[in-house]
Amino acid sequence: MKRITIDPITRLEGHGKIEVFLDDAGNVAKAYLQIPELRGFEKFCEGRAAEEMPRIVPRICGVCPEAHHLASAKALDSLWQVDPPPAAKKLRELFYCAHFIHSHIAHFYALAAPDFVVGPGADKSQRNILGVVAKVGLETGTQVIKHRSYAQKIQAMIGGKATHPVCGLPGGMSKPLSEEERKHIEAMAMSCVDFAKESLQIFEDVVLKNNEYVKLILSEMYQLAPYSMGLVDGNNRVNFYDGLVRVVDQKGQEVAKFASHQYPDFIAEHVESWSYLKFPYLKNPGWKGIMEDAESGILWVGPLGRLNAAEGMATPMAQKAYEKMYGALGGKPSRATLAFHWARLVELLYAAERMLELSQDPEITSTDIRRLPTAIPREGFGIVEAPRGTLYHHYQTNEQGILEKVNIVVATAHNYAAMNISVDKAAKGLVKNGELNQQALNMIEMAFRAYDPCFGCATHTMPGSLPVDIKIYNSQGEPWINLPW
């Protein structure tokens, strides 16, 4: 048995990379973010039975298995042209609200709050959830754990397992909800609504009442103006599970609205030689390079993208929080990357309110939850909003339902170009006149952490540091400095 010498353990190939190029004066000319991609998932699926997909896709990575599960279940509904009964759709949405609650709580308290509660300039050993708990109190820490665990319990009740669910089938769901489970969920949902309100209050007290933070949120370094994209319901309000994809421009005008099967008509993927990950963009106006104005079809998705792309929230308290947020940010759409965190909390409240509504819906315990598919499969499309943005699944099969082609476009890909611009802007503060600014390292991290990006299978990346390396090159293109995170 070998005794390990701990020399920073990293995933050698699984690193994101930021490459910074300096000009002659030693200032940043351009910075790029490269995201590693796991290899061959589509190939792995080809030749398998399509109905296996909802159980396979949650294994793409450990971050949002529930989102992949439902996007896949919806793609199978579409593949077999079968519309699930209303109770099945409501059950899926209930399950999915719990997933959002779980994911948004974890992101806000463990990943976002350290920057704001402990401070963006604090040493990285201090900027963590323990630092947050030390500041906001043990009681809040206990509430975080409790409500995250409620969300997991609800997902387990409906999904069969908390993570890696098995409930979604073509045409519906595998198991109805019992009255006893419903009551249990209702009680937990009520508590989640209160906790979401408290979380917004903490954001207000700690972040908004601190001028430094407000200045940071509104600072030019963290502003961006891409197109915004997200699912909306029939009244153009945010929906995570179903509806049409709506895209608005830099002025908030609707420029596209489409169903999942029309996705290829509106979105295309651009390839850059320096990255494995493709860049999805809006076909009209098209790809004009990584630039953020109406001329270039760069999008952002995720909490702020969704709120920008919609006209409001479908639940009363979340709607109020939505109005308050845009009031403070100076109108819609917002350009403030760091407002993703605020938008995430507005969504947390919406998810909790919607979960409570669904748990009180008389139809939620109906046993009519499956319509058996009878059509011959050929092609299926499924879109849901993952917590970090629009997720698209597209399958083509032979007549026996054996997969011939699989295409999956994830939220982080949709945000990839926008993240590159954010990183570039933040990196401009990293090196000035050839001098390295250590604090700017965290500023860059904050720029892309706002998007909650997914670097592939982050399930057990050790040692828990951000898997990103920064390489800086001088104006001759020679390596100047390498900053391991």
> Which residue among 22, 452, 470, 472 contacts another protein (CB under 8 A)?
452
390 or 461: CB nearest another protein:
461
* Residues within window 416-445 making contact with another protein, judged by CB under 8 A: 445
Give the single-character DSSP code of 207. I
Listed ranges 9-17, 226-234, 359-367, 472-480: which one lies at the site for another protein (CB under 8 A): 9-17
CB of 34 to another protein, least distance (A): 14
In one-letter notation, the amino acid at residue 343 is: A
454 binds another protein (CB under 8 A): yes
CB of 250 to another protein, least distance (A): 29
4 binds another protein (CB under 8 A): yes
> Which residue among 289, 434, 465, 479 contacts another protein (CB under 8 A)?
465
61 is an annotated ligand-binding site residue: yes
65 binds another protein (CB under 8 A): yes
**Pair of tokens at residue 172:** 């519906």
**452: helix, coil or strand?**
coil
140 or 315: CB nearest another protein:
140
302 binds another protein (CB under 8 A): no
In one-letter notation, the amino acid at residue 165 is: P
405 binds another protein (CB under 8 A): no
* Residues within window 172-201 making contact with another protein, judged by CB under 8 A: none
26 or 141: CB nearest another protein:
141
String of DSSP letters for 101-145: HHHHHHIIIIIIHIIIII-TTS-TTTSSHHHHHHHH-HHHHHHHH
167 is an annotated ligand-binding site residue: no
159 binds another protein (CB under 8 A): no
> Which residue among 166, 294, 436, 466 contacts another protein (CB under 8 A)?
466
107 binds another protein (CB under 8 A): yes
Task: Enumerate residues 6+ apart whose C-beta is below 8 A from 224.
Answer: 292, 300, 335, 337, 418, 421, 422, 425
CA distances, 460 to each of 62, 76, 149, 313, 405 (Å): 8, 30, 20, 35, 29
- CA dist 37 and 35 (Å) reads 6
- CA dist 190 and 359 (Å) reads 10
Determine contact, residues 309/246, Cβ cutoff 8 Å: yes
* Residues within window 11-40 making contact with another protein, judged by CB under 8 A: 11-14, 36, 38-40
111 binds another protein (CB under 8 A): yes
CB of 283 to another protein, least distance (A): 29
**Pair of tokens at residue 302:** 């995720």
127 binds another protein (CB under 8 A): yes
473 binds another protein (CB under 8 A): no
256 or 406: CB nearest another protein:
406
Listed ranges 87-95, 108-116, 199-207, 393-401: which one lies at the site for another protein (CB under 8 A): 108-116
460 binds another protein (CB under 8 A): yes
Determine contact, residues 229/414, Cβ cutoff 8 Å: yes
208 binds another protein (CB under 8 A): no
- CA dist 225 and 332 (Å) reads 11
Chain length of the chain: 485
User: Residue 286: which region, alpha, beta or left (left: phi > 0; alpha: psi -120 to 50)?
Assistant: left
User: What is the dihedral sign for C-alpha 89, 90, 95, 101?
Assistant: positive
> Which residue among 453, 470, 472, 480 contacts another protein (CB under 8 A)?
453
Task: Enumerate residues 6+ apart whose C-beta is below 8 A from 171.
Answer: 76, 77, 80, 82, 83, 84, 88, 370, 371, 372, 373
- CA dist 468 and 210 (Å) reads 30
CB of 103 to another protein, least distance (A): 9
CA 52 to the chain's CA centroid: 24
311 is an annotated ligand-binding site residue: no
208 or 466: CB nearest another protein:
466
Task: Enumerate residues 6+ apart whose C-beta is below 8 A from 52.
Answer: none
CB of 227 to another protein, least distance (A): 25
How would you classify the pairing of strands 16-22 and 468-473?
parallel
Q: How many residues bind another protein (CB under 8 A)?
A: 68
268 binds another protein (CB under 8 A): no
- CA dist 422 and 18 (Å) reads 12
457 is an annotated ligand-binding site residue: yes
460 is an annotated ligand-binding site residue: yes
> Which residue among 110, 328, 436, 483 contacts another protein (CB under 8 A)?
110
Binding-site annotation, residues for Fe cation: 64, 457
Binding-site annotation, residues for Mg(2+): 42, 408, 460
Q: Contact positions toward another protein, by CB under 8 A?
A: 1-4, 6-14, 36, 38-41, 43-44, 56, 59, 61-63, 65, 106-107, 110-111, 114-115, 124-125, 127-131, 133, 138, 141-142, 145, 148-149, 152, 162-164, 445, 449, 452-467
Binding-site annotation, residues for Ni(2+): 61, 64, 454
